[in-house]
Amino acid sequence: MSGIIVYGTDWCSDCMRSKRFFTAHNLEFDFVDVEADSCAEEEVRRLQGGERRIPTVVFEDGSHLVEPTHQEIGEKLGIIPRANREEYDLAVIGGGPAGLTAAIYADRQGLSTLVVDSASFGGQAATTKQIDNYPGFPEGVGGGTLAETFLNHADGENTELLSATSVLDLLEADDDRVELAMSNGQRVRARSVMVATGTTYRTLGAPGEESLLGSRIHFCSTCDGPAYRGRSQLVVVGGGNSACEEALYLATLVDEVIMLQNLPELTADIVLRERVLADPKITVITDSAITGFAEAQSSSTDGASVSVDFIHGPDRTAAQLSPDAVFEFIGLRANSANFTGRLEVDAQGYICTGSDHTTSMNRVYAAGDVRRGSTKQLVSAAGDAVSCFLVIRDLVLAEKKRSLEAV
């Protein structure tokens, strides 16, 4: 065995992410599946005083990190990624499907491009187990596999990919450049910037939730719902428009949908509310609060399901459900907090742009899920990045042509 051991499971998206860090930095590691190896599971529990949180990464010196970010692993190993140049034609903030698509196009146009991602590359796509609606993959494709494919395609000769590094601020430089302040302490300049920082699904933060995200707890019913067709029960968390729309859709796939809403009633528009309440397959439990999740064995299906503990009603009665999966629709958070002082955002933090992707800051553009009005689908995030890139390309190539003519 090599010095580094990653304990995890093959369905855990955070485990995939940790593995990707070591691969990206050419570091040898061994992966041990705790579900296939009871001694490995015992070892993880020993390290964590009885808990079994994954990934657990054990280093050569015997120390370990539980569910580490890339930045934490980098700090532990003394790896601080740095950009190679001081200036680029294009800096892309965020290496999800939008950012990586922009990199593919920029490389083909010969633009020097830096793609910076605070985690690893692939964005939200990399965190999902199976993607069934991406063109070209009729049998579906693993999110990690697709993200890897995007990354390999984006790794062109004009492109530099910098992971585990956050862009903390954007500053207007004095000579028609934008300066990026990064978490590694470095500042780089760019003629143009594409902000493609995406969104993060709001989660409940309930015990047991984290380790089931992407496997039994989902956020996209069009993406993950069809995998449960014909199953007996799904739980939908939330009571707004998205939760009601998604519950109606999921009820067409399974025998029963239980909605757990924390407020005394559904808050969706009246028409949606009435449709939900009239649907014989949907049961709404209001005034409820989820207290924990755990993996469970389902008798009705062919594999593991999830157990959901919750309290409800005026006397906060404790209850439990064992659905095949849980879908949470309690909102999205745009990843724009670092730029809200610089870029105009709407009430939810989505970046406001013109139809040409321009933001309120000169030379800064936005694309993908973080942009106001985005459709939160992979294929549209990639397409949005292309239309944004074409605007940037025209600006950069025209400027470069002018500078050449001036020489």
Ligand X SMILES: Cc1cc2nc3c(=O)[nH]c(=O)nc-3n(C[C@H](O)[C@H](O)[C@H](O)COP(=O)(O)OP(=O)(O)OC[C@H]3O[C@@H](n4cnc5c(N)ncnc54)[C@H](O)[C@@H]3O)c2cc1C
Give me the residues that bind ligand X (CB under 6 A), please. Answer: 93-99, 116-119, 123-125, 127-128, 131-133, 166-167, 196-199, 201, 214, 218-220, 223, 335, 338, 368-369, 376-379, 381
CB of 356 to ligand X, least distance (A): 18
Which CB, 178 or 196, lies closer to ligand X? Answer: 196
CB of 83 to ligand X, least distance (A): 12
Rounded Cα distance between 264 and 316, Å, is 13
Which CB, 179 or 279, lies closer to ligand X? Answer: 179
Which CB, 242 or 288, lies closer to ligand X? Answer: 242
CB of 116 to ligand X, least distance (A): 5
What residues contact 64, with CB distance under 8 A and at least 6 apart? 47, 56, 57, 58
The answer to whether the CB of 344 falls within 8 A of the CB of 329 is no
Which CB, 75 or 287, lies closer to ligand X? Answer: 75
Q: Which of 4, 40, 1, 44 is nearest to 22 (CA)?
A: 4
Q: Which residue is nearest to ligand X (CB)?
A: 198
Q: Which amino acid is at 124?
A: Q
Look up residue 265 and give its DSSP letter. Answer: S
CB of 192 to ligand X, least distance (A): 16
Rounded Cα distance between 236 and 257, Å, is 7
Which CB, 4 or 93, lies closer to ligand X? Answer: 93
CB of 97 to ligand X, least distance (A): 4
CB of 370 to ligand X, least distance (A): 6
**Token code pair at residue 89:** 């034609």
**Token code pair at residue 57:** 């990464």
Q: Please give the C-alpha separations between residue 405 and each of 58, 288, 398, 399, 402, in angstroms, as whole numbers.
A: 57, 68, 11, 10, 5
DSSP codes of every residue in 213-249: BTTTEES-HHHHGGGGTT-SEEEEE--SHHHHHHHHH
Which CB, 291 or 380, lies closer to ligand X? Answer: 380
Which CB, 132 or 399, lies closer to ligand X? Answer: 132
Which CB, 165 or 288, lies closer to ligand X? Answer: 165
Q: Please give the C-alpha separations between residue 351 and each of 12, 20, 275, 293, 385, in angstroms, as whole numbers.
A: 31, 29, 33, 34, 14
CB of 369 to ligand X, least distance (A): 4
Which CB, 199 or 305, lies closer to ligand X? Answer: 199
CB of 196 to ligand X, least distance (A): 5
CB of 90 to ligand X, least distance (A): 15
CB-based burial of residue 62 (10 Å sphere; 0-12 exposed, 13-18 middle, 19+ buried)? exposed
Which CB, 47 or 304, lies closer to ligand X? Answer: 304
CB of 213 to ligand X, least distance (A): 7
Q: Which residues pair with 172 in a beta bridge?
A: 178
Q: Which residues pair with 345 in a beta bridge?
A: 351
The answer to whether the CB of 132 falls within 8 A of the CB of 401 is no
Sheet of strand 64-66, all strands in order from the earlier edge strand to the far edge: 29-33, 4-8, 56-58, 64-66
303 backbone φψ class: left, alpha, beta (φ>0; ψ -120 to 50): beta
Q: Could you give phi then psi for residue 107, rounded to 5 degrees?
A: -60, -40
Q: Which of 310, 299, 251, 304 is nearest to 276 (CA)?
A: 251
